[in-house]
Structure 1
Amino acid sequence: MDDPELDPVPTADQINFTVTPDPENSNILHFRSTSTGIAMWDFGNGAEGKGTEVQAAYPIANEYTVTLTLLTNGGVVTKSQKVTIATTNPLMLEGPIYTMLTGGPNQLEGKTWIVDRNTYGHMGVGPVGGTTPEWWQAPPNDKASEGLYDDEMTFKLAGFSYIYNNNGKSFSNGANAPGLGGTAGDDVTLDYTPPANMNWSLVEGAKNQIVISKGGFMGFYTGTSTYEILSITNDELYVRHLDAATPANAWYQRFIRKGYQRPVTPKPIKSVNINDNFDDNGNVTWNLENILLNESYDNPAPTGINTSKKVALYTRQGGQANQYGNAYIQYTHKLDLSQRHVFKIKVLVPSYNDYTTMGGAESWSPVKTLQKQLSVKLQNSELGGNAYTTQTEVIQQVTQLGEWVELTFDFGAAATRQDYDRIVIQFGGEAHWNPGIFFLDDFRLEP
């Protein structure tokens, strides 16, 4: 076989490209590489391209630096050239995104956006390769104590001006806090004055992106000034952006137009039957958080008050990440408990669980060990991670270990509440890291 050799390394003066205005619109330029190799383009307006012949749109009068990177058999070489756009083309600025973002050419004062604080997931984080903030989403008003919810971001079409009024404080991801003059660590609120005379630009393509000048940002600071528009309407804006300090993280933020009130459709209130005996098909669906639930487990002690063949095995997993494990039933309506508010459930609490070892717990928690108890909670899921703040909880201790007992949970004190749409059951207590297994059967709302 022939022994392959690399070509000589090219130099910038050996590569060239042509620039030709579009005959029908001089704000669109056609670029053509006249050199051999794979052509990669940076158009100087925030957009990029690939190929021997490409085009780019420049609606704004300005001078732009276009860079061609050529991949050849001899290596990689780049060449830059300045192009000048003499006049702004207003027709190119009347696209739907420009109008929805700024209010359009007839709204000279621009449009002001604020954080959509009352919506679940107004902040979130997920993998860069994903499409949703699957790792974490902020519940409504989750960051009320931070310098975020009073921020106002105004986009103007005139002069492409961007004005950020943060009322003196901004909220930053800790790893990126040095960009605001802070130190790395947990997320932090810092005294910060945004730069004056900032501008914005819109990069349209497969991904529509907002780019802010002078290191400007929107809402929660993650070290970036580029925001991909996931969706936009006249009233709502949903963006994704990267984390400069942790490139594997993608952050998500939701904004709404200042003054916009999201329409709220209240859930209907219903009185329904609730039961699951794990032998037949019950009328509930169990959702799990950091536990395991086998809904068809052979009864380990078919004697006494419970001789049914099948029961549910509830496995509480150890470790700090599982300290708030539970199973819950989620409804699309609110629960009417005015006439029926007593739940009953049969449980078997094994004697062989370790109820004495302190396997780790939150420092503030009075509970350091696995508890011989079952808790039933009624919650309003619309509060997201803050649902516990308005919940009603009934806890029953179990003293008869190794045998089936029936527990009663009376929510008569909350019978007039009409905001509950979730029922939570939790064995063993919470805020500690101890594992354990439990059994349950015949869960029901009394007629």
Structure 2
Amino acid sequence: MNKRHIIFSALVLVGLTWFGCEPMELDKPNIGNAPTAEQLDFTITPGDDAFHFVITNTSTVKGIANWDLGNGIKTVGNSVTAYYPLAKTYNITLTLYASGGSTSKTKEFEQTETDWSYLESPIITALTGGVDAPNGKTWVIDSLTEAHLGVGPTDSYSPVWWAAAPLAKSGHFLYDDEFTFKLVGFTYKIDTHGKTHVNHDGNADEDGLSAGYYVSSFWNDAYDIDMNTNDAARGELTWSISQENGKYYIQISSQSGNISYDDGNPRKYEVLEWNENFFHLRTVGGAARYHKIIPKGYVRPTVSYTLNVTATANPNEFSFALEDLTVPSTFTISNITYDFGDGTSYQTTNGAEVVLHTYMRKGNYKTKVTVIANNQEFAKEYTVNVVANHPSYQEYLLDAMVMYNDFGETILVPMQVDQADGGATIQIVSNPNNSMYPNRSARCALFTKHNAQWANAYTRLPDGYRFDLTKQTVFKVLVYGKAGDQVLLKLENTDRGGNAWQTGTADLIYTIQNDNKWEIAEFNFAGVGAGWDWTGDIFTSDVTTDSRFNKDFYNVVRIMINPGNNGGTFSVHLDDLAGPHIEGLK
């Protein structure tokens, strides 16, 4: 079948509908008598070429002319220009508004020419495979990329509310859904293979159940729902594409025809970015939903390499090299960044360069190299274990406490939130009572947990730094909350990952004495044990005297409110977290 035959088949089966902006119909102005059908008329005359036509209001009564041009475009004006690219009949409607009412008149316009260049336009070819793909082109969700799904405010152009991490919806029967666009007949087909994942807090699941293409549900949370499907019930679907104000839009003929994840929004999608192997779409109407799709079976070109980190003969010096570096012919490396994990980094564009770095302090450093090519990142990590301080390094440890965070001017190390088994937040807020000591500062932190036993606020030291409990054993924090609430503070070692609890200290508890009054909560680890003998790992009866625990071991402080209690919402204000001096950290 040759090119013209394929396109002709498409035209015979269905016309390409153009969808445009729908301006608000204006209030009826006081500009004359209500028109009658006999008073309305308009002319259609050739424009600049065989596909553009000038449509002019020639009514015998004055009014405001609103047009439905029959190609999906609606507009206002006495004289407008319309584009009709396909050989078919278009229904053009003039609605004239005057005082007292409005009247409409429709004429059929027979276009006898076809704009073949339009049907062969690059974006249509990219979407459907063009005339060389009579069976169309099938797309799937680009599940391996960041923000392949997302949501943001209606007026936004980025998923500021939520963006899906790679494979975020694994196990929810979404990533095998297929979406096929055909040029022949402009048909559109969805194949969910019997199950899919759709929006639940909107109307997507309800629409589908009502129409029959969703049959039943078998999992849901507050936002999404997994559904058994019957794709045949979606009916015959077609697609169309339009260009409005320099932007492309794809529209599906029925609400049963979503592209990508069914978010329940109208089936009109603005094209943010496109090429033959990628479409980035944004829904039009409702909250802005974002979708990234790629051709089925497409494997995105990637930069591959092995990160080789080797100790040299020099003290604490390590070499970093990208071995077996492979860069696709269409890619250009624009930057390579080495993050050495000790607060320093190095940048280059030379993938063959061997980079040397010297560490001054002992510790475990989480290093990372990031290669940027064609605006894509290809990163690898490696943990460097430095067993001793550099010979030229001089320790400087004070026999005193230092301020870690006053949530205002001094932030030696930031405080973060671990959601643990529920929800939690930490905010910098105004001091609820700065009228008296011990806390006259303007700002403080507010930690809140919701229905969680172990959610906590925590401070983690940078890589290479650990608490030293040999000279100072006390941690302090100002607390302001409800009398009787308990504040827990403990130390942990993140080298243990998810098993950090096995060598964490025993819990130290401070009970708030007064309602809404700043108090000094003190936690002294002298004589406090850590670990349990039944874990099969190290344990001690005193973390301050045991050399395995009192230096170069703990790097996290965790603070909880009413630990173990998940029966509601609990809050505590915190300020001036302080503890032993951290050697080398400024």
Tell me the TM-score normalised to structure 2 length.
0.55
Matches of 2:241 and 2:199, distance apart in 1: 25
- Alignment check: 8 A CA contact 1:377 1:425 kept: no
Deviation at residue 373 of structure 1 after TM alignment = 3.7
Matches of 2:493 and 2:242, distance apart in 1: 49
- Alignment check: 8 A CA contact 1:39 1:52 kept: yes
Report 1:44-443 matches (<5 A): 44-174=70-200, 175-181=203-209, 187-188=224-225, 189-194=227-232, 195=234, 197-206=236-245, 207-215=247-255, 216-221=257-262, 222=264, 224-242=266-284, 248-258=286-296, 259-261=298-300, 263=302, 268-273=338-343, 278=406, 290-293=425-428, 301=438, 313-317=444-448, 337=463, 346-348=475-477, 350=479, 352-354=481-483, 356=485, 372-373=488-489, 397-400=507-510, 402-405=520-523, 427-428=560-561, 432-441=568-577
Deviation at residue 218 of structure 1 after TM alignment = 0.9
Higher relative contact order (CA 8 A, sep 6+): 1
Distance 1:424 1:179, change over 3 A: farther
For residues 268-321 of structure 1, give each alpha carbon's deviation from its aligned partner in whole angstroms, at most 9, with x where no partner exists: 44222599555876576777884222699999659xxxxxx9897321247679
Matches of 1:77 and 1:343, distance apart in 2: 85
Distance 1:18 1:112, change over 3 A: same
Distance 1:340 1:316, change over 3 A: closer
Distance 1:393 1:249, change over 3 A: farther
Deviation at residue 404 of structure 1 after TM alignment = 4.0
Deviation at residue 13 of structure 1 after TM alignment = 3.8
Matches of 2:193 and 2:174, distance apart in 1: 9
Distance 1:20 1:355, change over 3 A: farther
- Alignment check: 8 A CA contact 2:415 2:459 kept: yes
Distance 1:172 1:67, change over 3 A: farther
For residues 34-65 of structure 1, give each alpha carbon's deviation from its aligned partner in whole angstroms, at most 9, with x where no partner exists: 24333332233333323222223233333332
Distance 1:64 1:220, change over 3 A: farther
Write the letter of the residue equivalent to 2:569.
W
Distance 1:226 1:326, change over 3 A: farther
Give the secondary structure class of the aligned counterpart of 2:570.
coil
Deviation at residue 107 of structure 1 after TM alignment = 4.2
Deviation at residue 255 of structure 1 after TM alignment = 1.8
Matches of 1:153 and 1:105, distance apart in 2: 18
Give the secondary structure class of the aligned counterpart of 1:10.
coil
Write the letter of the residue equivalent to 2:273.
S
- Alignment check: 8 A CA contact 1:235 1:256 kept: yes
Distance 1:70 1:343, change over 3 A: farther
- Alignment check: 8 A CA contact 2:490 2:557 kept: no
Equivalent residue, structure 1, for 2:46? 21
Deviation at residue 210 of structure 1 after TM alignment = 0.7
Matches of 1:98 and 1:224, distance apart in 2: 21
Matches of 2:557 and 2:73, distance apart in 1: 50
For residues 384-417 of structure 1, give each alpha carbon's deviation from its aligned partner in whole angstroms, at most 9, with x where no partner exists: xxxxxx8676676332563344789x9x99xxxx
- Alignment check: 8 A CA contact 1:169 1:193 kept: no
- Alignment check: 8 A CA contact 2:404 2:576 kept: no
Equivalent residue, structure 1, for 2:397? none
Give the secondary structure class of the aligned counterpart of 2:204.
helix
- Alignment check: 8 A CA contact 1:311 1:439 kept: no
Deviation at residue 91 of structure 1 after TM alignment = 0.6
- Alignment check: 8 A CA contact 1:286 1:328 kept: yes
Matches of 1:166 and 1:280, distance apart in 2: 55
Matches of 2:127 and 2:479, distance apart in 1: 60
Distance 1:353 1:110, change over 3 A: same
RMSD: 4.6
- Alignment check: 8 A CA contact 2:488 2:510 kept: no
Deviation at residue 205 of structure 1 after TM alignment = 1.0
Equivalent residue, structure 1, for 2:69? 43
Give the secondary structure class of the aligned counterpart of 1:435.
strand
- Alignment check: 8 A CA contact 1:180 1:192 kept: no
Deviates more, 1:139-148 or 1:258-267: 258-267
- Alignment check: 8 A CA contact 1:374 1:427 kept: no
Write the letter of the residue equivalent to 1:169.
K
For residues 89-144 of structure 1, give each alpha carbon's deviation from its aligned partner in whole angstroms, at most 9, with x where no partner exists: 22123333223323344444433221122333322333323333333333333322
Give the secondary structure class of the aligned counterpart of 1:128.
coil
Matches of 1:310 and 1:254, distance apart in 2: 48
For residues 400-446 of structure 1, give each alpha carbon's deviation from its aligned partner in whole angstroms, at most 9, with x where no partner exists: 563344789x9x99xxxxxxxxx997643696521111234358976
Write the letter of the residue equivalent to 1:293.
I
Equivalent residue, structure 1, for 2:20? none
Count of aligned pairs between the two proteins: 392
Equivalent residue, structure 2, for 1:362? none
Write the letter of the residue equivalent to 1:193.
D
Matches of 1:249 and 1:145, distance apart in 2: 25
Matches of 1:142 and 1:61, distance apart in 2: 46
Deviation at residue 150 of structure 1 after TM alignment = 0.8
Equivalent residue, structure 2, for 1:416? none
Give the secondary structure class of the aligned counterpart of 1:150.
coil
- Alignment check: 8 A CA contact 1:314 1:440 kept: no
- Alignment check: 8 A CA contact 1:110 1:157 kept: yes
- Alignment check: 8 A CA contact 2:478 2:577 kept: no
Matches of 2:33 and 2:456, distance apart in 1: 63
Higher alpha-carbon Rg = 2
Deviates more, 1:131-140 or 1:203-212: 131-140
Matches of 2:241 and 2:63, distance apart in 1: 30
